[in-house]
Structure 1
Amino acid sequence: MTDTIAASADASSTPDATTREIIDPATGAVIATVPEEGADGVDAAVAKARAAFEGGPWPALPRSARARLLLRIADAIENDSERLYTLEAHNNGRPITETRAQLSRVPEWFRYNAGLLAAQRLAVLPGDGPYLTYQQRLPLGVCGIITPFNHPLLILARSLSAALANGNTVVVKPSEMTPLTTLALAEILADAGLPDGVLNVVTGGRPAGERLTRHPDVAKITLTGGTEAGRAAALATAARFARVTAELGGKTPVVMFDDVDPGIAAEGAAFAAFVAAGQSCVAGSRFLVQRGIYEPFVDALAARARAIRVGDPSLPETQMGPLISARQRDKVLGLIETGPAEGARIAAGGGVPELSERLRGGYFLEPTVIADATMEMTVAQEEIFGPVAVVIPFDTEADAVAMANENRYGLGAGVWTTDVARAHRVAANIVAGMVWINDHHRLEPSLPWGGVKKSGTGKDAGTESFDDFSWIKSIVVRTAADHVDWYGDADQRRLN
């Protein structure tokens, strides 16, 4: 049965809006319908957010009161967590065990940014003469957040909590494929006491996203998506001198040195490559393996890939779910085919698994290991965004660093070694915004998240993100008892 899900009390809806069917990627069945908003819907949402910013209580609310509400929101999310886990797993196909592990951390971002707000200390600046100079931080205004399909709620919470803590109002445009937990979160925040108009959700596709990035009343855009979408957002915001944070593509190198047990290395590689069905910008996708352990590593990783339980995301025993859409699966299959065509070897997977009749309409793909690749191959250069691990041998540390950096992306990287000095040395020389040593995918609210090169600009999370949702005003106060008469007879030594 198909449910019709309204876009919440704070979501925009226009009289002529069409609707979009939301698909369960595990079955191909329609599970909901939502309004398909375009430019008119975005304009209405931005107008509501601007009115809430200019005339509502939120920006002027005492900092302690905003912090308390963010803490109340965190508690409310925890109290409704089982519904959110189930809804997101149903919507984007990520196994319920993975989804529970990820979304259980969402409240941390609201608590972290509430803490930053409560503990924020503003600068008093030194200067010569009888002057007191101090700073204020003020909210930007209306902020737009555009989120992807792969981690819709976590990525939203990362930016939303920082935007709200600073007193901004927000318009969110979730992926048109995975809006359901965003709509549910909007309801949770409203019930927790967030004032009307502070959070607005627009459900729609590219036209809605493009209008949001170009809207003259939007002071900052935070976007997680593809490189072309990020470039378009950067150009649109630059035209009006608005801010932009863009987390974009990745082709994460993971360097495996031969002092690591190949079985242990394969365990780490499987997690890096196949969690979230590889649909993550920091998924381990290029495994650079030193020749001393190359063959046993490939064998161990292939065995791990074949043992992963692919199936129904709602079952706790499932270890990998489907890709988000038929189009994405076809794209990944096409990229896999370039491997053997260019001289690589399929060591595991490479096709569509045989599953139950109920799941045959879903978008499943076998966990795949492509071995004997080289850096020139398509699979070594292109972001695949699916459960595909590409394995490439190397000889020396210098070779590994050069190969890791031989790509247009620079989001994440991994280094596996028992040599502490080498671990730090190699991590320092890899060009990436984040480097994990002997692990992968780890994140904290305090960890600035973002890349370099074509992986984007700016940071999500951490104090960097918190501060970027405000602007600084400097105030200079003359404290001397006398007055200044520049054009009088007194000897003036400074033009101030």
Structure 2
Amino acid sequence: MPPSLALKPGTAWADAWQRCLAVAPEAFRDDHVLNLRNGGWQAGGLTLPAASPVDGSPIVGPPRLDAGTARQAVRACLDQHRAWRHVPLAERRARVAAALDALTEHRDLLALLLVWEIGKPWRLARADVDRAIDGVRWYVDGIEPMVADRVPLDGPVSNIASWNYPMSVLVHAMLVQALAGNAVIAKTPTGGGLACLTLACALIHREGVPVTLVSGSGGELSEPLVRSPEIGCVSFVGGRDTGARVATAVADLGKPHILEQEGLNCWGVWEFSDWDALSAVIPKLFDYGKQRCTAYPRFVVQRSLFDSFLAAYLPAVRSVRIGHPLAVAAPGDPLPELDFGPLISAAKAKELGDLVAEAVDRGAIPLHRGSLADGHFLAGQDTSAYLPPVTLLGPPPSSPLHHAEPFGPVDTIVLVDTEAELLAAMNASNGALVATLSCDDERTARRLASEVRAFKIGLGKPRSRGDRDELFGGFGASWRGAFVGGELLVKAVTRGPADERPPGNFPDYQLMPA
């Protein structure tokens, strides 16, 4: 009989909240947070209730502003931008470096907030914080040649990002943008991350770095954060529906932009035999429940290899560990090593469960269904946001799982007989961020890779977003605007020689990756 579990002492949401009140009293109040706008922490906005995906318990919701207040925040951010762009680079470096030191000091609190707000297991939550800090330090150390003969934009950079990586994507981008000489305004993601981002921005703001953080619905804030004439660049990370609307707006206005959108990242298996290697990587692909832009939810498998593929895949997926990220058997035990905890919400778990049921009704074959009974949970806890791994063979064309990214722990398998079918299946979503091909012959893999519409392609191994000097972008509908990474991330938010356009996926210009 498994031991009974309890919350590890000191990790409760109430404990984390009290620590926030002590560390940043200017940003946190008794039962709510403030927005960082007009150069300081301001009350206002309609605070809505929120619940932790971990166990359904109440947490603090965002103070939602209306469009008029957001427009005022944008105008104030422009004033900050006009002053900051003239601050010498040495001083900008010193302030950003001091902000990184403060983030490092409170690393574990930032990670604990991520656990409660977006359900990240402890290992992945700490990694998210560390990647933000380490990534920006790389820019601090090497910024001089990146900004040589370049100047900041004419207006601040506006950031709208998804909830899954508040630190390593959003805070990382904000600090690099500021280091390059721009004031920054960001919207807290609707799905979660409010307290973590509020604490991070409080620590950054104290060091004199011009950041603005506002909360509100996309419908209210999209107009001021995208279309306001004061905005110099729009950086967006999210789904294709919202991204398409943002892309239309920035194209109409001629604004510089970085728009990272979803794509169906595929793993192709063709003329392959190293099944032990594939089996070893399968559990790692379930990190954070595949709620990542570089997750692999689709396997495209040569039909004649299907039996061998299943023999490698099924034991691996059955080993995936899920559960409450903060539950331990004894107070002194370390936090559990889990592949993922809850999805972002109970609504998302239900949505995916319904999509799976619908696909099966229409002809998909369920090959694997995990069980919550095997999970790592507290007795009697709310598990409505949890969905164990599911694998379907042959999702029908009428199902969204056939052509769209599920953004959750649902794998689909498509069988093919020819190389042409393989490529068609791997290109089903009109562009992706990453893909992988498992082939015994490297020449075959490279030949096929040249026809796959993904920006990064791994040979027998997964690809990631990457940090530091690694280029990142996408093709087709998965990306719009400037590619980023290393020097290109800085170029995307600065101006150089007249008529220069950084490499990217623009309607009339593309750069194929090496």
Q: Same fold (TM over 0.5)?
A: yes
Structure 2 runs not aligned, ≥5 long: 1-13, 18-29, 327-334, 500-514
Secondary structure in structure 1 of the residue aligned to 2:496: strand
Give the drift of 1:374.
6.5
State the partner residue of 2:222: 209
Structure 1 runs not aligned, ≥5 long: 123-134, 476-496
Quick one: structure 1 residues 445 and 21, their matched pair in 2 at CA, closer, same or farther if it must change by over 3 Å? Answer: farther
- Confirm or deny: 8 A CA contact 2:362 2:396 kept in the other structure: no
The CA deviation string for residues 141-175 of structure 1, in whole angstroms up to 9 with x for no partner, is: 21110111111221113421331122111110021
Counterparts of 1:276-425 in structure 2, within 5 Å, are 276-314=288-326, 315-349=335-369, 355-373=377-395, 378-425=400-447
| Corresponding letter in the other structure for 1:400 | L
Aligned equivalents of 2:239 and 2:150: distance in 1? 35
- Confirm or deny: 8 A CA contact 1:251 1:383 kept in the other structure: yes
State the partner residue of 2:100: 74
Structure 1 residue 92 and structure 2 residue 124: aligned?
A: no
- Confirm or deny: 8 A CA contact 1:227 1:456 kept in the other structure: no
The CA deviation string for residues 359-394 of structure 1, in whole angstroms up to 9 with x for no partner, is: 325400011111245677542212211101111223
- Confirm or deny: 8 A CA contact 1:298 1:347 kept in the other structure: no
Give the drift of 1:225.
0.9
RMSD: 2.6
Quick one: structure 1 residues 258 and 189, their matched pair in 2 at CA, closer, same or farther if it must change by over 3 Å? Answer: same
- Confirm or deny: 8 A CA contact 1:325 1:363 kept in the other structure: yes
Given candidates 41, 46, 51, the residue that maps to 1:23 is 51
Aligned equivalents of 2:216 and 2:339: distance in 1? 31
Give the drift of 1:398.
4.0
Aligned equivalents of 1:316 and 1:228: distance in 2? 36
Aligned equivalents of 1:296 and 1:280: distance in 2? 28
- Confirm or deny: 8 A CA contact 2:237 2:260 kept in the other structure: yes
Aligned equivalents of 1:5 and 1:392: distance in 2? 47
State the partner residue of 1:275: 287
Please, what TM-score do these two structures have when normalized by structure 1?
0.85
Quick one: structure 1 residues 334 and 251, their matched pair in 2 at CA, closer, same or farther if it must change by over 3 Å? Answer: same
Quick one: structure 1 residues 44 and 14, their matched pair in 2 at CA, closer, same or farther if it must change by over 3 Å? Answer: farther
Aligned equivalents of 2:101 and 2:472: distance in 1? 24
Aligned equivalents of 1:450 and 1:31: distance in 2? 35
State the partner residue of 1:131: none
Aligned equivalents of 1:16 and 1:78: distance in 2? 30
Secondary structure in structure 2 of the residue aligned to 1:412: strand
Aligned residues: 457
- Confirm or deny: 8 A CA contact 1:220 1:242 kept in the other structure: yes
Please, what TM-score do these two structures have when normalized by structure 2?
0.82
Counterparts of 1:391-470 in structure 2, within 5 Å, are 391-442=413-464, 443-458=466-481, 459-470=483-494
State the partner residue of 1:232: 245
Counterparts of 1:116-135 in structure 2, within 5 Å, are 116-120=142-146, 122=148
Give the drift of 1:221.
0.9
Aligned equivalents of 2:175 and 2:337: distance in 1? 33
Quick one: structure 1 residues 281 and 220, their matched pair in 2 at CA, closer, same or farther if it must change by over 3 Å? Answer: same
Give the drift of 1:185.
1.1
Given candidates 7, 10, 18, the residue that maps to 2:34 is 7
Aligned equivalents of 1:452 and 1:109: distance in 2? 24
Given candidates 156, 160, 184, the residue that maps to 1:170 is 184
Quick one: structure 1 residues 37 and 347, their matched pair in 2 at CA, closer, same or farther if it must change by over 3 Å? Answer: same
Given candidates 36, 39, 63, the residue that maps to 2:67 is 39
The CA deviation string for residues 393-413 of structure 1, in whole angstroms up to 9 with x for no partner, is: 233444322321233332221
State the partner residue of 2:204: 189
